[in-house]
A and B are shown apart, each in its own frame.
Chain A
Amino acid sequence: MEEMTAESVRELQQRVLAHEPISEEELRRAIAYLRKSRNAAPKEKAPPKEKKSKTQDVDLLSLIEDLREA
């Protein structure tokens, strides 16, 4: 299935404005593109996975300490 781009969404809109029929499949692809592209920039800046696992380790250590204190 070919992925849509901003340009293809614009083309789709022109067809909507021209009252041309739009298939459900095209609409779904447009929605998939819009969903994928809405937060494109922040996703690229997301922290690397290693950092996430480090955080989990810290959480686990804190949990062990909490249990010892208890």
Chain B
Amino acid sequence: MALIQDKFRHPFPAAVDSTMLHAFRSCPQQFYMSYVRKIRAGGTNTHFVCGGAFAKGLEIARTQYANTTAVGVPAILAAEKAVEVGLLALLKAYGDHVPGEKNKNKDMVNTARAYISYFDKWPLHSDYISVASFQGKPAVEFTFVLDTPIRHPESGMPIIYAGRLDWVGEYNGLYIVMDEKTTRYFKSEWASDWVLRAQFTGYVYACQQYGIPVTGYGIRGTALKMTEIEHQEAIITIPPWRLQRWWLQTARDIQRMVDCWKQDYFDFNLGDACTSYNGCPFTQLCKVEDPEPWIPAGDFEDNTWSPLQKEVEV
């Protein structure tokens, strides 16, 4: 069997997250290129810039609000100041990026509009989902790592499942993991599309492993259109059996990753994964028999993904 990989064995990652699992499930070869071979398409991705800056603004505003109200600043004043501080963080995080014509809806000004609109829709001082506090600290940008039962093919250590979630909210006495998503527009089934999403099931599972009694998750979506900003929300609870199934499936998928690495062969989807979203960035490499010489010649750059990096929906 002809192998597409180069002769040098790139190391298997020590930690895996939901983004990596998502890539592997859709196409093992895409997982290989992104997280083992560690390359990505060159240029800046507007979706990541916009989503990252938007998330940074919200994170800083929420933290600022929680910290200032904790020392007695009146809620409405604290909220106003927090939105200002968050906006500064967003402007910094967006940087000099200028999107192409196709993604103008996610330019800096519209991203800032979306941020302001978000806090008009869900004001910090009167949001029905408040930021939960644990041991006196607001549960904002919570990072977790879990040992999986799968051994690393080189070190023999447990492969880590890691992630970073936006915040934990308190809603009618229940704790839920909260996440923000930006999009171009809302599909008709937007809210129900999140029901089985592994990323959030993993967040709930992880929180419970950390002793945080989370029962579900909430997604707050913001659609950045050229002419208006829209918001939607979905709140989903998860029964314990689905958490257990998610953990089992995650372990099975990580085992398959390891098997591919050991066999030095990562399977190809050769189907929808090649064209979905904006198309797989590696399709050019899959069109040639030996892709390795094409990597330096193509529009690719080295990229080491950190599982603790903020995940952004595109």
Contact = CB atoms under 8 A, between A and B. Distances in A.
Partners in one complex: yes
B88 interface: yes
B84 interface: yes
Contacts of B113: 34, 37-38
Contacts of B114: 38
Q: Most chain-A Cβ atoms within 10 A of its Cβ — which of B84, B91, B114, B228?
A: B91
Main secondary structure of the interface of B (DSSP, over half): helix
Interface stretch (B92-100, B170-178, B297-305): B92-100
Given A6-B109, A38-B117, A31 B92 contact: no
A65 interface: no
Interface string B72-103: 00000000000110011001101110000000
Interface in A10-49: 10, 12-13, 16-17, 22, 24, 27-28, 30-31, 34-35, 37-42
B228 A27 contact: no
28 contacts: A6-B109, A9-B109, A10-B109, A12-B91, A13-B91, A17-B92, A17-B96, A22-B88, A24-B84, A30-B87, A31-B84, A34-B109, A34-B112, A34-B115, A35-B116, A35-B117, A35-B120, A37-B113, A38-B114, A38-B117, A38-B228, A38-B229, A39-B117, A39-B228, A39-B229, A40-B228, A41-B227, A41-B228
Nearest to A39: B228
A33 to B, nearest CB: 9
A30 B83 CA distance: 12
What 5 A-B pairs are tightest by C-beta distance, nearest first?
A: A41-B227, A38-B113, A34-B116, A39-B228, A13-B91
Nearest to B226: A41
Contact of A17 (B95, B120, B228): B95
A42 B83 contact: no
B88 A27 contact: yes
A16 B88 contact: yes
Interface string B97-129: 000000000001100111111001000000000
Contacts of A13: 91, 94, 108
A40 B228 CA distance: 7
Nearest to A16: B91
Interface residues of B, number: 21
B98 to A, nearest CB: 10
Contacts of B109: 6, 9-10, 34
Interface of A: 6, 9-10, 12-13, 16-17, 22, 24, 27-28, 30-31, 34-35, 37-42
Contacts of A6: 109
Contact of B84 (A9, A27, A35): A27
B165 to A, nearest CB: 27
B223 to A, nearest CB: 12
Contacts of A31: 83-84, 87, 116
B95 A40 contact: no
Contact of A9 (B83, B112, B120): B112
A41 to B, nearest CB: 4
A28 B227 contact: no
B253 to A, nearest CB: 41
Contact of B92 (A16, A35, A42): A16
A28 B116 CA distance: 11
A36 B219 CA distance: 26
Contact of B227 (A9, A30, A42): A42
A22 B116 CA distance: 18
